[in-house]
Amino acid sequence: MKTKLTIRLNQEVIEKPSITPLVESLSGVINVPEDFDYKKEYANYLEEKYK
């Protein structure tokens, strides 16, 4: 069975995505080092959680 999906996007949305006030207020809340390995930290978190 073949199906077709058509998506229509507004050119303005493609060029400049809208940022909600909540996202804007949260940006810059924490500072993370450039070499922060979030995958490793998340794996450690899951390991501890499911011990």
Residue 41's pLDDT band, with cuts at 50, 70 and 90, is very high
Res. 6: pLDDT tops 80: yes
Q: Longest C-alpha distance within the chain, in Å?
A: 49
Instruction: Give residue 40's pLDDT.
Output: 96
User: Could you tell me how far CA 29 lies from the centroid of its own chain?
Assistant: 15
- On whether the pTM is more than 0.95, the answer is no
The torsion angle over the Cα atoms of residues 18, 23, 25 and 28, rounded to 10 degrees, is -110
Res. 13: pLDDT tops 80: no
Provide the H-helix boundaries in 1-51.
11-15, 21-26, 38-49
Average confidence (pLDDT) over 13-21: 77
